[in-house]
Amino acid sequence: MTQASPSSRTVAEWLAALEAALAAPEQADWSALFAEECYWRDLVAFTWSIETIEGPEAIAAMVRQQAPLVGAQAFTPDDPGLPMTDEMQGWFTFETATARARGHVQLREGKAYILLTAMTELIGHEEIGGARRPQGIEHVAAKGRKTWLDEREEEARTLGFSEQPYCLIVGGGQNGLMLAARLRRLQVPTLVIDAHPMPGDAWRKRYKSLYLHDPIFLDHFPYLPFPDHWPLYTSKDKMADWLEIYAKAMEIAFWGSTRCQRATYDEASGEWTVIVERENEEIVLRPRQLVLATGLSGARFIPDIPGAERFEGQQYHAADHEGGATLAGKRAIVIGSNNSAHDICVDLWENDAQVIMIQRSPTIVVRASTMQEGAKSLAYADPRMETEFADLMGATMPFRPRLAAEKAFTGYLRQIDAPFYERLEKAGFLVGHGEDETGFFMAYYRRAAGYYIDVGASDLIADGEIAVQVGEIGEILEDGVRMADGTVLPADLIVYATGYHSMSRWMSELISPEVERKVGRCWGLGSGTQGDPGPWEGELRNMWKPTAQEGLWLQGGNLMQARFHSLHLALQIKARHAGLPTPVWHAERTRVRAPEPAF
């Protein structure tokens, strides 16, 4: 029987060839398995990190190091009826020495163009649930039996005091709670602390008109999806209540009104010393794993503008805007032109304030209505589709090949919404589409800024209801703002919708500048565009994977990312808790770098 030529290889034949090559990685011809342009995106399964390796040479370098340590085997084609399955692509399952995993391969002439591998669970350390659910109660009479409430109260008395958490999560928003829920299912002692009294309070304290911009089917939480009557777009107060419900349902150990003061790591003991203040009491916690889950941003950023101290009206950061109900008739200036700036301008306009937006640079604008139509075709929108599988489908496209698709999508939006953009530009608004025309999504991945999802403000700008002043600010006066060109804008209120410092700064303040420098930038791809300096990384820097500081992890992103990648972070932490080998592939040391992308 003749062997199939590489150009006509099926997915099953390719998987068999991959398994044989993994068994002898030094002797294998990896260029026979991977196309000249190729990408291997790994979510913990091979690298014990989140990495995209580009090109046959780089892939060979990674596999020769990792294959003997990981022990991948039993590559088996998955259900042929699954989406993204045909002659040229398909899903598969496999195992390593410590984990079960899933993957997808896209072939070009019998060689891999894109390969995804993703760990799904640890062998022998599976999540509690389903057939592994706890009994709840023993059906025998016994003196001193503990009820569920007894056990919960005992945990509250001991965790953080006589019993130390293995993992401490700083930040009790959606990111921290999703990760904590997964760790509890994996039986990792975990404590979540937050400066706010209750889960959801960070949402409750925002302005009343705030809604999520993503449709609900993108935002489900692990283990507890939203009910199917839930509105397509969620109010911030509804989301706040959901976080509180979720924390209770998932039995998360949560300390509210608790501020993290400082943290130091002992290399010898592999333990953190974290000083927190809770109800005016200083408490010392000693976790082995520390997760910063305070979102993508750190402290509020307010630019140093000459004269700010002499302004006689109100001025505050956008995060402190609680609503415009008391601001009717006020002359309001909002500095900034991203999501928060637009939302606050609308809130002020609805409350009869006179609003001027100061725009300092072009802003990417996409219409929510257009995005809503496009979202109907997503796998997530199909009620028959499991959210976990839709997450995997979305992960099959690495960032570099995604650029062409994003440019095409931006061009499509510019075409179908051309009248909309023309109206905005006629009103003096600077419409951007990204430095390289890759639009909204890449702006999010690169710097999580520079865009607005239009839910009404753009029409108000186009109609002149919200005025736009373009340019740099020269100084702030006692009763207004003087632009660099000399234009004076009277004001009773200034709102700084100017963003936040990076997570790195929060790391510096909490731990040390040395650790900040050691870890490096957080978020961004290394695209070499504004706010995202190179070199090219191919994955979001330092997110959900080992950092250069042992025992320090970062959990952030939107609800979809928080749900999907909390799984990968939880598996990494559980593996360490269980004492399993976790041979991390240090990309920056061993990767053969592909050429810098031509952005």
For the chain, the structural domain boundaries read: 6-122, 153-298+503-577, 301-500
E-strand stretches of 378-438: 431-432
| β-pair partners for 170 | 193, 292
* CA distances to 153, 157, 160, 184 from 150, in Å: 5, 11, 17, 18
pLDDT of amino acid 593 = 35
Helix/strand/coil for 220: coil
Give the pLDDT score at 7: 66
**Angle 441-443-447 (CA atoms, 0-180°, nearest 5)?**
130
Which pLDDT value is given to residue 5? 59
- The answer to whether 437 and 576 are in contact (CB under 8 A) is no
Indicate left, alpha or beta for 439 from its phi (over 0: left) and psi (-120 to 50: alpha): left
Q: What residues have CB less than 8 Å from 24, skipping those under 6 apart?
A: none
User: Is there a contact between 9 and 17 (Cβ–Cβ < 8 Å)?
Assistant: yes
Per-residue DSSP letters for 529-565? Answer: BTTB-SS--SS-TTSSS--SSTTEEE--S-HHHHHHH
Q: Closest by alpha carbon to 105, among 60, 24, 42, 25?
A: 42
Tokens for 413? Answer: 């939006």
Q: If you search the block for the tokens 């999802």, which residue do you land on? A: 453
- Max CA-CA distance within the chain? 88
List beta partners, residue 275.
Answer: 262, 284
Distance separating alpha carbons of residues 110 and 89, to the nearest angstrom: 10
pLDDT at 500: 85
Q: Is residue 50 within 8 Å of 539, Cβ to Cβ?
A: yes
Q: Same CATH topology for 153-298+503-577 and 301-500?
A: yes
Q: Which of 245, 256, 243, 254 is nearest to 192 (CA)?
A: 254
CATH class of the structural domain 6-122: alpha beta
Compute CA distances 257 → 194, 272, 278, 356, 460, whole Å: 6, 21, 6, 36, 39
Tokens of 237: 């107060």
Which architecture does CATH list for 153-298+503-577?
3-Layer(bba) Sandwich (3.50)
Residue 275 burial (10 A CB sphere; 0-12, 13-18, 19+): middle
pLDDT less than 70: residues of the chain: 1-7, 296-298, 587-599
| Residue 548 identity (one-letter amino acid) | A
Cα-flanking dihedrals φ and ψ of residue 258, to 5°?
A: -125, 125
Contact 155, 253 (CB under 8 A): yes
- Residue whose tokens read 């389903």: 130
Helix (H, G, I), strand (E, B) or coil at 138: coil
Alpha-carbon Rg for the chain in angstroms: 26
Which class would CATH give 301-500? alpha beta
